[in-house]
């Protein structure tokens, strides 16, 4: 059996899609569906059971499951604007520690989600080398909660016993429940449909023009492919960036969305909320040298092809779910 925490979420449900593609259906989905629309991400998927996230630790300690081949820990509060830091500490950090300790004790493959939010303003670069990780200063509490777990892995000398994945700007199908945390691609698609115009934040740095802020964009299918690769290559461990290794601008994104939809690009630059201005990342770009050094030869989609598949194969279809 494979346990996927956050299995009804964006990346988690894409991983289950990949597992199903590879013939894996003995999957325990762990999540907190509550009143959200996340359940819709599971409708097309095959899995053996679902439990609420609050039950997992106790059920593991009671040996409720006869065999666990892997724990893929994608569950977390992913809101970069979450202000309840105690909640983030318990949900993102302590919960992760308990799961990891169980997996290590039982010799179970453990793969977890970190985040590019750990890199803060990028002053130390975007290398996933341990020496760089020790220096990082995240800009928000979400990034800090993720960073704390990375530090726990390093300081506990578990780097060679599990896999951490620092996801950069992931976009694609099944993100629809995330509301304000949805990708700009999803928002831009709907803005074009509603008004014919795409709204992007103004730049508040004199050296960077409006819309020229840059991100490393990752298509969610590629993220799922990479998780499967690590499941197949059990001897490879460590913390790795998950990105294309190339930074693209928001303007590039807006142009690609418009062209895929067959409309002229019309971009309006709007004020950034003041609460975000001192926590905004103007540039991210994954260093992927360490991932390539493992022998992983997966080719990540470029921004244009990822947007093309997302819009044409999902957003413009009656069933937009993986």
User: Which residues are known to be catalytic?
Assistant: 142, 178
**Dist. CA 322–CA 314, nearest whole Å:** 8
Residue 313 phi/psi, 5-degree rounding, is: -90, -15
Report which of 104, 111, 116, 108 is spatially closest to residue 230, judged by C-alpha positions.
111
**Dist. CA 14–CA 289, nearest whole Å:** 25
Q: b/e for 123-158, b at 16 or more Cβ within 10 A?
A: eeebbbeeeebeebebbbbbbbbbbbbbbebbeeeb
Distances (CA, A) of 57 to 9, 105, 268: 19, 14, 47
- Three-class SS state of 47: coil
| DSSP per-residue letters across 208-258 | S-TT--EE-EEEHHHHHHHHHHHHH-TT--EEEEES-S--EEHHHHHHHHH
Task: Work out the burial of residue 297: count CB atoms within 10 Å of its CB; fewer than 13 is exposed, 13-18 middle, 19 or more buried.
Answer: exposed
Record the tokens describing residue 11, joined without a space.
């990346």
- Rg value, the chain, Cα: 19
H-only helix segments in the chain: 10-21, 53-61, 85-88, 95-106, 130-133, 141-155, 184-195, 220-232, 250-261, 274-277, 289-293, 303-310
């Amino acid at each position: 059996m494979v346990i996927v925490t956050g299995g009804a979420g964006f990346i988690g449900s894409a991983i289950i899609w990949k597992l199903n593609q590879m013939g894996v259906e003995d999957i325990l989905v762990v999540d907190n569906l509550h009143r959200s629309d996340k359940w819709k991400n599971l409708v097309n998927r095959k899995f053996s059971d679902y439990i609420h996230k609050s039950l997992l630790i106790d059920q593991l300690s009671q040996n409720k499951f006869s065999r666990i081949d892997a724990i893929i820990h994608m569950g977390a509060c992913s809101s970069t604007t979450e202000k309840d830091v105690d909640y983030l500490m318990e949900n993102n950090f302590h919960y992760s520690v308990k799961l990891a300790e169980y997996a290590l004790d039982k010799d179970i493959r453990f793969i977890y989600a970190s985040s590019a939010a750990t890199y803060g303003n990028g002053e130390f670069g975007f290398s996933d080398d341990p020496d760089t990780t020790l220096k990082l200063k995240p800009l928000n509490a979400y990034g800090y909660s993720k960073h704390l777990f990375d530090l726990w892995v390093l300081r506990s000398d578990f780097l060679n016993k599990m896999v951490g994945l620092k996801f950069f700007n992931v976009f694609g199908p099944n993100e629809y429940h995330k509301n304000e945390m949805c990708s700009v691609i999803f928002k831009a698609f709907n803005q074009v449909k509603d008004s014919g115009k795409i709204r992007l934040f103004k730049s508040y740095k004199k050296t960077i023009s409006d819309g020229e802020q840059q991100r490393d964009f990752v298509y969610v299918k590629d993220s799922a492919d990479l998780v499967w690769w690590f499941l197949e290559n059990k001897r490879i461990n460590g913390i790795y960036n998950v990105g294309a290794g190339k930074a693209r601008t928001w303007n590039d994104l807006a142009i690609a969305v418009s062209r895929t939809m067959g409309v002229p690009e019309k971009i309006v630059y709007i004020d950034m909320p003041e609460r975000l201005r001192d926590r905004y990342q103007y540039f991210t770009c994954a260093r992927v040298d360490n991932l390539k050094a493992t022998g992983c030869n997966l080719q990540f989609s470029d921004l244009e092809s990822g947007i093309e598949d997302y819009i044409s194969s999902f957003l413009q279809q009656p069933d937009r779910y993986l």
